[in-house]
Chains A and B, each alone.
Chain A
Amino acid sequence: MTEPLLHGVIAEYVTPDGLVEACKKAHAAGYRRMDAYSPYPLEEAADAIGFEKTRVPLLTLCGGILGGLSGYGLQYWTNLSAYPMNIGGRPLHSWPSFIIITFEMTILFAGITAVVGMLTLNGLPQPYHPIFNHPRFTAASRDRFFLCIEAADAKFDLNETTRFLQATDAVDVAEVAD
């Protein structure tokens, strides 16, 4: 048997300051494959590990445009070609009446895209992730902050990375099995 595979080295912090500072140091030291974990959104941590832009807004915009076009297109097609109906003598293409459904479909598609897009980009639902092998990790959804530098990083070296994380504000540094 070979020795168990390593996911990375994880450091635990008590304050958001400690985490963000460590993230900045790690990024400056050249580490890239790493992730920070916090019990509430901490935008500075994402910025510090070099994740500054998300594609969720762009996806949502595309979803919204698609929804609006399909909403209007559906009404245009049904009224002008599939099933023309004379309602109170109005023109078949009475666009003001079509606006509301177009609007609702825009919102519906954009909203669904925002949620599905966010989950897909995040890789959720995810039944297994090695980070949960760390026995103290349940505190990440409670009151503690974590930084994990992954073994897949080009600069990763078990001893050196462990020493690097110990030099930060961490209260605990440990290895995480894959």
Chain B
Amino acid sequence: MEQVPETKASATLERLLPGQSPVLTPGHTLETITDKIVSIVLRRPVTLGWVGGFALFFGLMNLLLFAMAYLFFRGVGIWGINIPVGWGFAIVNFVWWVGIGHAGTLISAILLLLKQGWRNSINRFAEAMTLFAVACAGVFPLIHTGRPWLAYWLFPYPNTMGVWPQFRSPLLWDVFAVSTYATISALFWYVGLIPDLATFRDSATNPVAKTIYGLLAMGWRGSARHWKRYESAYLLLAGLATPLVLSVHTVVSFDFAISIIPGWHTTVFPPYFVAGAIYSGFAMVLVLAIPIRRFYGVQDMMTLRHLDNAAKVMLGTGLIVAYGYMMEAFYAYYSGNAYELFMFKNRALGPMAWSYWCLILFNILIPQMLWIRKVRLNPGLLFCASLVILLGMWLERFVIVVTSLHRDFLPSSWGMYVATRWDYAVFAGTLGLFFSAMFLFIRLMPMITIFEMRMLLPQAKLSEEVSAHD
């Protein structure tokens, strides 16, 4: 019942060759791969399901615009933030969205360097996911400044006031890290698209579409000289994006770890933030991939092997995250610092204890079912597990931000944090922005990298006799 009909081929293969589900179901040629991916955008009519889904998320995106307009009108007082909890949903959401972006870069850059061929069919939409997630993340630092029209003061530029930014602040490091990340991700995505846009240009019959794809393809013609420089630049970008992606969440964790707030001031933050980012990112990849492969019938390109591998990555990074939670508790105990110890007790037993125990349940206990092979090969269960992990990772940032701040050194300055409807509206609005952008992307761009899928074909490789140097 859990197997949709289209996965039958994959499922049959899976039974015949356990653990050997192929990256690309056999039987494809250069022609069929091209046609299949091109037809999703250029030949397939717009369905009612797409329109309905897009309308829903587009509506949510309008909620974001409305909530932001009201925020600019009234100020950040409409949110639940207060003193001592000066960082509320805005920072929680920012860290959550940036983290989700990380899986896209991991798939497109790190797995490319590690020669993981299975990444070829999921890297394009994972990169798109990165771009849109970073865009959603970027909303929050901007609007939480209170006076967003002055946000450009964060950038170093010669001005009549004669002032320059404070370069020793992790918040400024964040500005550089996230804007570099957004730029490099966009470049990586666009460079990867160029040859596929040329395919679209050559396959489009509608003159308007042909012109637009033609302009975007910039006259790409697949010349051997071009490909050589292209491959070189693409590999270099992957090599640059790899340390970059690790640095971005490290810098995000510095926003916390450089401070002296109990619960934030720990050295485990950078690695555990990076692992958590990849954890939630892969969960989002699966939340997107499982419906996409079903609705667009691309189970032969995004096979059970992809789901299995992604689930394994989640399992691994999830265990690193669990280690991080353990270390937080251990630091609190072993440091002998009364404030650290109190922070941990308050987190586990205080008024916000529900969030901590939900976090342990969603992020550590439930995902342990991924050890079971049957679960990893069951798209429906995997989809649910991914949703749970996404929720868990959101709660993790909530626990870190709110429970550390609301009761610090002096009991006289303790407080509580309750999010308002505007907090929820902005968060739901960014979900709308993210998913409506994904809906548009799937209809307008090749969501699977055509030229890299061609390279997976056996007939795309040279026979040894020819490739041997004479």
A: residues with CB less than 8 A from B are 15-17, 20-21, 23-24, 35-46, 49, 51, 54, 56-57, 60, 64, 74-75, 78-79, 82-83, 85, 87, 90, 94, 97-98, 100-101, 103-105, 107-108, 110-112, 114-115, 117-119, 121-122, 124-129, 131-132, 137-138, 140-143
Our pick among A16, A49, A107 for the contact of B461 (Cβ within 8 Å) is A16
Contact between A140 and B221, CB atoms less than 8 A apart? yes
Which residues, 230 to 247 on B, are CB-close (under 8 Å) to A? 230-233, 236-237, 240-241, 243-244, 247
Contact between B167 and A37, CB atoms less than 8 A apart? no
Please indicate the chain B residues that have their CB under 8 angstroms from the CB of A35 in the complex. Answer: 223-225
Q: A46-B227, A57-B232 in contact; A138/B202 too (CB < 8 A)?
A: yes
Q: A83-B164, A100-B176, A112-B187 in contact; A143/B30 too (CB < 8 A)?
A: yes
Please indicate the chain B residues that have their CB under 8 angstroms from the CB of A74 in the complex. Answer: 156
Contact between B162 and A90, CB atoms less than 8 A apart? no
B7 close to chain A: CB less than 8 A: no
Contact between A142 and B240, CB atoms less than 8 A apart? no
Contact between A51 and B167, CB atoms less than 8 A apart? no
The chain A residue sitting closest to B201, CB to CB, is A141
Instruction: Give the distance in Å from the alpha carbon of A23 to the alpha carbon of B462 in the complex.
Output: 14
Binary contact readout B169-202 vs A (1 if CB under 8 angstroms, 0 otherwise): 1001100110010011001101100010011011
Contact between A108 and B180, CB atoms less than 8 A apart? yes
Please indicate the chain A residues that have their CB under 8 angstroms from the CB of B203 in the complex. Answer: 138, 141-142
Binary contact readout B228-269 vs A (1 if CB under 8 angstroms, 0 otherwise): 111111001100110110010001001000000000000000
Chain A binder among B46-54, B60-68, B110-118, B452-460: B452-460
Please indicate the chain B residues that have their CB under 8 angstroms from the CB of A75 in the complex. Answer: 167
Our pick among B184, B198, B228 for the contact of A43 (Cβ within 8 Å) is B228
Q: Which of A40, A79, A117 has the most CB of B within 10 A?
A: A40
Instruction: Give the distance in Å from the alpha carbon of A141 to the alpha carbon of B35 in the complex.
Output: 11
Min Cβ gap A119→B in Å is 7
Our pick among A43, A112, A126 for the contact of B231 (Cβ within 8 Å) is A43
Please indicate the chain B residues that have their CB under 8 angstroms from the CB of A83 in the complex. Answer: 162-164
Count the A-B residue pairs with Cβ separation under 8 angstroms: how many?
Answer: 198
Contact between A38 and B180, CB atoms less than 8 A apart? no
Instruction: Give the distance in Å from the alpha carbon of A36 to the alpha carbon of B163 in the complex.
Output: 55
Given contacts A42-B462, A107-B184, 14 further A-B pairs with CB under 8 A are: A39-B199, A39-B454, A43-B231, A49-B225, A51-B224, A54-B228, A54-B229, A118-B232, A121-B229, A124-B220, A131-B221, A141-B202, A142-B30, A142-B203
Q: A94-B168, A111-B237, A142-B202 in contact; A101/B222 too (CB < 8 A)?
A: no
Please indicate the chain B residues that have their CB under 8 angstroms from the CB of A125 in the complex. Answer: 218-219
Q: A41-B227, A121-B229, A141-B195 in contact; A115/B237 too (CB < 8 A)?
A: yes
Contact between A16 and B233, CB atoms less than 8 A apart? no
Please indicate the chain B residues that have their CB under 8 angstroms from the CB of A98 in the complex. Answer: 167
Contact between A49 and B230, CB atoms less than 8 A apart? no
B72 close to chain A: CB less than 8 A: no
A-B pairs, top 6 by smallest CB distance, nearest first, are: A125-B218, A118-B233, A143-B30, A126-B219, A138-B202, A36-B224
Contact between A114 and B233, CB atoms less than 8 A apart? yes
Interface residue count for B (Cβ, 8 Å)? 67
Please indicate the chain A residues that have their CB under 8 angstroms from the CB of B462 in the complex. Answer: 16-17, 20, 42, 44
Can you name 6 A-B pairs with beta carbons within 8 Å? A36-B224, A37-B221, A39-B454, A40-B455, A60-B233, A143-B29
Contact between B177 and A122, CB atoms less than 8 A apart? no
Q: A44-B467, A57-B232, A138-B202 in contact; A126/B218 too (CB < 8 A)?
A: yes
Contact between B233 and A56, CB atoms less than 8 A apart? yes
Q: A35-B223, A107-B244, A122-B229 in contact; A41/B180 too (CB < 8 A)?
A: no
Min Cβ gap A177→B in Å is 16
Q: A43-B231, A111-B183, A112-B183 in contact; A21/B177 too (CB < 8 A)?
A: no
The chain B residue sitting closest to A56, CB to CB, is B232
Min Cβ gap A144→B in Å is 8
Please indicate the chain B residues that have their CB under 8 angstroms from the CB of A87 in the complex. Answer: 166, 168-169
Min Cβ gap A12→B in Å is 13
Our pick among B229, B451, B454 for the contact of A118 (Cβ within 8 Å) is B229
Our pick among B165, B220, B236, B460 for the contact of A110 (Cβ within 8 Å) is B236
